[in-house]
Amino acid sequence: MSLRESEIKSGPACTTISLGNYRFSDPPDPSKWADCVHCGMCLESCPTYEQTGQEQHSPRGRVHLMKSVGEGKLEITEDLIDPIFMCLDCRACTTACPADVDVGGLIEEVRGQIRQAIPLTGWKAFVNDFFLKGIFPHPSRLHLLGSLLKLYQKSGLRTIARKTKLLHIMPEHLVEMEAILPEVGVPVRKKYKHMNVIKAKGETKHTVALLTGCVMDVVFSDINEATIRVLTRNGNDVVIPQNQTCCGALHVHAGDRETGRMLAKQNIEAFQHVDRVIVNAAGCGCMLKEYPELFRDDPEWREKAERFSQKVEDISKYLHDTGYEKPKAELNVRITYHDACHLAHGQGIRQEPRAILSSIPGVEMVSMPNADRCCGSAGIYNLTHPEMANKVLESKMQNVPEDVELISMGNPGCMLQMAMGVLKYGRNQKVVHTVQLLDWAYQKEDGKEVRV
């Protein structure tokens, strides 16, 4: 389909604010690429450049391409999709860049343009619409999906599927994903639905709201439970606004900025009566902090988004900065820490989680070389680009120290991907969330039996 046809199909583009060959509203911000002087300092930071050695798959090359379209030197064509969508959006280049070029922001904006110019078709469009529009924005449907998963895991269906090799009709990466999915529990949103507030243990020092997340609450509700326990133990009343929704990161990464904006508005409203929004998923936290980027052309919502983003904090930084009770029980484990991209590169949070882990008695920290290198999860990148995601994962696993028992991190996507890495490369580490370890230490202190 030519660009013109697709424009007609998707309705009139807002041509008044077009930029070069970006013909739709919300075009990329040219001041972002103006900072790039093409020095190349980003090259080695980029996982896809590491794998391919090709500069159209490097931050500098991608910026150069995006700028060329903005300057009218290049059209948006099918051949542009690969360089722009192969990016993991891991933001490592922004850390490496001497001039702080916001490559991730540009990539997301340009994906928005590409997806409007060349809409997905066929099976891909169906899967995209089904999950990103049909499931994630709707908590009830997500919970239903969770229940189905639970049924599958508990009823013996899984055993049958695995034994009969029925699973083998699925692509390999989905089979791997199925294998490492943890036991599905009860989402905290459902569980605490009728509680206005989960009271702090002892004196209330702060009141915070928890973003429960979509995947987090379905697949890792135990981490949400742990987060609530740790927060309440440290003097926080926790509220779980029921009208909150998916953060929209997956949508924005995929170029669906419109749905991203819709979800952002819903969350901004859902959390309007609280002063603090605590997030335990790095990808979601980063997205919430970047909501203002979605409303560059909408002053009213931009202001609301800016006020909202000030309230957002990652659980590790929040605990570290507001102070938390140092656990007294010993855990006696060797741990390595993996920096989730959207925590380290996206939010600049590196030392806080490490400090929390080190403060647990008996924890021995073993540093991981290139700890802030992407694991290849990158939202749903491991589903959309399995080949590249696997290569990135392989390179990540080579850096995981052999002699540790746990790999700790602060993002559910990374946890699934790293668990897959452990399985695939015959390693024996357990993958845990930073806050879980703190929770275990507290529980042990309280005399409960903890299996680390």
Partner 1 sequence: MRKKGIQTNDPHIQALARIVGGEKSILYKKEDLIAYDCDGFTVHRHLPKAVVFPKNTEEVAAIVKYCHEHDLPFLARGAGTGLSGGAIPLNGEVIISLVRMKRLISVDLENRRAVVEPGFVNLKLTNSISDRGYYYAPDPSSQYCCTIGGNVAENAGGAHCLKYGVTTNHILGLEVVLPNGEIIEIGKNGIPDPPGYDLIGLLTGSEGTLGIVTKITVRILKNPEAKQTVLAYFDRVEDASQAVSDIISEGMVPAALEMMDQTAIEGVEAAAFPVGHPKDIEALLLIEVDGISAGISEQIEEILRICRNRNVREVKVAQTEEERARWWANRKTGFGAMGAISPDYLVQDGVIPRSKLPEVLKNIQQISKKYGLRIANIFHAGDGNLHPLVLFDASKPGETEKALAAGSECLQACAAVGGSITGEHGVGIEKKEEMRFIFSDEEIAAQIDIRDVFNPKNLLNAGKLFPTPGRCVEVKREKKQRQSL
Ordered DSSP codes for 235-264: TEEEE--TT----SHHHHHTT-HHHHHHHH
Closest separation in Å from C-beta 350 to partner 1: 13
Beta-strand pair 277-279/206-210: parallel
Pick 35 or 298: Cβ nearer partner 1:
35
Helix (H), strand (E) at residue 277: strand 277-279
State which of residues 74, 174, 365, 452 lies at the interface with partner 1 (CB under 8 A): 74
Smallest gap from residue 133 Cβ to partner 1 (A): 21
Pick between residue 113 and residue 411 the one whose CB is nearest to partner 1. Answer: 113
Instruction: For residue 90, give both structure tokens.
Output: 């891991």
Task: State the first-to-last Cα distance of the chain, in angstroms, to the nearest integer.
Answer: 55
Residue with Cβ nearer partner 1 (53 or 156): 53
Rg (CA), the chain: 22
Interacting span for partner 1 (CB under 8 A) from 2-10, 74-82, 166-174, 420-428: 74-82
Q: Which stretch binds partner 1 (CB under 8 A): 70-78, 285-293, 316-324, 431-439?
A: 70-78
**Could you tell me how many residues of this chain bind partner 1 (CB under 8 A)?**
38
* One of 27, 28, 61, 70 touching partner 1 (CB under 8 A): 61
- Six token digits for residue 42: 């980003």
Determine which residue in the list 3, 19, 81, 383 makes contact with partner 1, applying CB under 8 A. 81
Residue 31 CB, shortest distance to partner 1, in Å, is 9
CA 116 to the chain's CA centroid: 23
The CB-of-258 to partner 1 minimum distance in angstroms stands at: 23
97 binds partner 1 (CB under 8 A): yes
Contact between 227 and 257 under an 8 Å Cβ cutoff? The reply is no
Which of these, 320, 307, 139, lies nearest to 215 by C-alpha position? Answer: 139
3-state helix, strand, coil in the chain (%, to 5): 55, 10, 40
| Beta carbon of residue 34, minimum distance to partner 1 (angstroms, whole number) | 4
- Binding test (CB under 8 A) with partner 1, winner from 21, 48, 58, 429: 58
For residues 66 and 418, which CB has a smaller minimum distance to partner 1 in the complex?
Answer: 66
366 binds partner 1 (CB under 8 A): no
Tokens, residue 224:
């949400």
In the complex, minimum distance from the CB of residue 21 to partner 1, in angstroms, rounded to a whole number: 12
User: Interacting stretch for partner 1, rule CB under 8 A, among 58-66, 134-142, 413-421, 427-435?
Assistant: 58-66
How far is residue 77's CA from residue 400's CA, in Å, rounded to a whole number?
39
Which is nearer to partner 1, 30 or 362 (by Cβ)? 30
> What is the dihedral angle through the alpha carbons of 445, 343, 334, 377, rounded to the nearest 10 degrees?
120
Query: Which range, of 68-76, 262-270, 278-286, 298-306, touches partner 1 by CB under 8 A?
Result: 68-76
Distance CA 172, CA 285 (A): 30
Among residues 42 and 431, whose Cβ is nearest to partner 1? 42
Q: Choose between 254 and 319: whose C-beta lies nearer to partner 1.
A: 254
Distance CA 151, CA 144 (A): 10
Stretch that binds partner 1, among 98-106, 300-308, 339-347, 349-357 (CB under 8 A): 98-106
Asked if 10 and 119 count as a contact pair (C-beta separation under 8 A), the reply is yes
Asked if 190 interacts with partner 1 (CB under 8 A), we say no
SS3 132: helix
Q: How far apart are CA 331 and CA 358, in angstroms?
A: 11
When asked if residue 83 is in the footprint of partner 1 (CB under 8 A), the reply is yes
| Spacing of C-alpha 105 from chain mean position | 15
Closer by beta carbon to partner 1, 207 or else 370:
370
Stretch that binds partner 1, among 93-101, 135-143, 217-225, 419-427 (CB under 8 A): 93-101
Count CB-CB contacts under 10 A for residue 194: 6
Q: From residue 28 to residue 57, what is the string marking binding to partner 1 with x (rule CB under 8 A)?
A: ------xxxxxxxxxxx--------xxxx-
The DSSP letter of residue 196 is S
Identified binder of partner 1 from the candidate list 8, 15, 79, 323, rule CB under 8 A = 79
DSSP letter, residue 305: H
Q: Which is nearer to partner 1, 85 or 301 (CB)?
A: 85
Cα 105 to Cα 89, 125, 290, distances in angstroms: 9, 24, 9
Instruction: Note the residues at the interface with partner 1 (CB under 8 A).
Output: 34-44, 53-56, 58, 60-62, 64-65, 68, 73-74, 77-83, 95-101
